[in-house]
Amino acid sequence: MSDIYQQITDRIIAELEKGKIPWHCPWRPIEWRHRNLVSKKPYRGINAILLCMTPYESPFWLSMRQIRQLGGTLKPDETGTCVVFWTLYEKDCDNKFPVLRYYTIYNIEQVGGIPAKYIPFLPSKQTIEFNPIESAEEIIEEYEDCPPIIHEGNSACYSPSKDRIKMPPRVQFENEEEYYSTLFHEIVHSTGHKSRLNRPGMENIEFGSETYSKEELIAEMGAAFLCAYSGIEQATIHNSTAYIQNWLEHLKNDKKLVIQAAQKAQKAVDYIYNPAKNLEAAA
């Protein structure tokens, strides 16, 4: 594959040009999250986004080797989906650097012959009961060093200098999902503070700048991930047209942007769930 960065970016751009937000994935309920059939591990970051762009209903995926191990065969004329991972390339004893690799997987709908005993039962999406507000509150409670959340005024924002989140009163939002998706956006911003993940440029972000656009993309993706994890509707973009046009311009000029943003968004979400562990990993 000539350039995995460019191919993935082209796929994201194609979705944006259709007016679709590809990182808003229908991962509700949690049992339906895309994952490997054998390892049971859910796909994360850019891979979760890429798999949500596929037409398959089933959340189960396998490599060709896993298909053969389970006694299955690929159906005629089926093509796989590319997913990526990072690996350390060792140039010599003193020089190691991360390299993006890829491999191909297949949805179980593309495969025949796998015994039913290997395929987990999936509860109906329509019959599962869940409380989206309670689950969203649990995420906020997990964020141990969450900055103060002040409810006042008519706008939502995160201030790095004051390290606080400002939100309009809850009653001003159309519904609970809108409130939590907006709050998640600001919470992801707050993970970039110098006392947390210390994302470059957070201290002096200028509206409309390249740093601003990148940080907004990270916050939007992170908010979509948190909405998915909490099981609420992903209504994280309020000015869709403006956001999409802005992202399209930068994506076309920077083929690595979407993968790097998804990686940082996932890191922000991981930090919210376990700040101490992720600070230690970043040290």
CA distances from 91 to 2, 84, 85, 217 (A): 21, 21, 19, 33
- 137 alpha carbon, distance to own chain's centre: 19
Residue 70 has pLDDT above 70, yes or no: yes
Over residues 213-236, the pLDDT tens digits come to 789 889 988 988 898 888 775 444
Closest CA to 80 of 59, 57, 54, 43: 54
User: What is the reported pLDDT for 1?
Assistant: 45
186-192 mean pLDDT: 96
Angle at 1 between CA 109 and CA 42, to 5 degrees: 40
Nearby residues of 256 by Cβ (< 8 Å), 6 or more positions away? 5, 9
Tokens matching residue 188: 């992801």
Q: How many C-beta atoms lie closer than 10 Å to residue 152's C-beta?
A: 9
92-119 mean pLDDT: 88
Count Cβ neighbours within 10 Å for each residue of 166-198 and write b for 16 or more, e otherwise: bbeeeeebeeebbbbbbbbbbbbbbbbbeebbe
Cα-Cα-Cα-Cα dihedral sign, residues 157, 162, 164, 166: negative
237 or 64, higher pLDDT: 64
- Dihedral, 127, 128, 132, 135 alpha carbons, nearest 10: 170
Mean pLDDT of the chain: 83
Answering whether pTM is above 0.75, one says no
Instruction: Give the integer Cα–Cα distance in Å for 185 and 208.
Output: 17
Of the pLDDT bands very low, low, confident and very high (cuts 50, 70, 90), residue 211 is confident
206-211 mean pLDDT: 70
79-83 mean pLDDT: 94
